[in-house]
Amino acid sequence: MSVKLFAMTCGWLTMPAKMILEGMPGALRLPIPAYLIVHPKGKAIFDSGLHSSLQNDPAERLGGLARVTTVEYQPGEELSARLAAMDIDTRDINYLINSHLHFDHAGGNDQIPNAPLLIQRPEWEAAHDPDLAAANSYDLRDFDLGQDVRQVDGEFDVFGDGTVVIFPTYGHTPGHQSLKVRLDSGDIILTGDACYMRKTLEDLHLPRILHDRDAMIATLQSFRALERRGARIFYGHDAEHWANVPQAPLPVV
């Protein structure tokens, strides 16, 4: 059995474009992805999407961000429902991997309560440092849930055979990480917010708000190198790219 990757849309956010691509006018409608990786040794989730409370009261969870953000998120679009539609019980997930701990990537962590969380040590530590947590807009309600947290230092081979590998991609946040998934068709890089859009990668067009500008540029250069070697890049929130990604229950091929 080879590795399978499934992409799931867990809502949409519309917000000022300048937040994603500094200086750009207008607004962008952004998909909120989550991924299921099925390996012969188990199942992993990469990013869990939004908290289900945003379906009813976005302002309570988002605070001031709600004033400039439109949330499109209906019952049945949360991660647990997406998995249920594939006849997958959340209790059967072996690993929960967050690219980072922002609300649109870790908000659904409560729906995967039994799986250990794999997160870069600098990310976990920053999220629990009052100053860094405030500067990076973490919300402990998304991820500090009493789960088994396994802090990773750098690269980590999830199943031990090189097919699903976490690697650090710092810059967007202090401990951002991305995931390399080796399918029969080749490597796919799930960038998370280390690379919001195709334009981010092609033009090094950075977002307005980020933790470390130089680190993010270095990360983007590493993605360019991976792409030159044949990897396919899956951007964090690029609607145009996302429109061409097969959605579960169809696998990414």
Domains in the chain and their CATH numbers? 4-242 (3.60.15.10)
**Which of 11, 24, 72 has the alpha carbon at shortest distance from 197?**
24
Torsion angles phi and psi, residue 103, rounded to 5:
-60, -30
- Distance between CA atoms of 133 and 184, rounded to whole angstroms? 39
Q: Is 158 helix (H, G, I), strand (E, B) or coil?
A: coil
What integer is the mean pLDDT of 134-155? Answer: 97
Instruction: Work out the mean pLDDT of the chain and round it to a whole number.
Output: 97
- Please, which pLDDT band fits residue 16 given cuts at 50, 70 and 90? very high
Task: Encode 43-65: b = buried (16+ Cβ within 10 Å), e = exposed.
Answer: bbbbbbbbbbebbeebeebbeeb
Asked if pLDDT for residue 199 goes beyond 90, the answer is yes
Write the pLDDT tens digit of every residue in 39-82. 999 999 999 999 999 999 999 999 999 999 999 999 999 999 99
Residue 228 is predicted with a pLDDT of 98
Q: Are 211 and 174 in contact (CB under 8 A)?
A: yes
Which pTM value belongs to this model?
Answer: 0.97
**CA-to-CA separations, 184 to 59, 84, 191, 225, 226, in angstroms, rounded:** 43, 26, 19, 21, 17
Say how far residue 144 (Cα) sits from the centre of its chain: 17
Asked if pLDDT for residue 1 goes beyond 80, the answer is no
Residue 120 is predicted with a pLDDT of 98
What integer is the mean pLDDT of 13-34? Answer: 97
Residue 149 is predicted with a pLDDT of 98
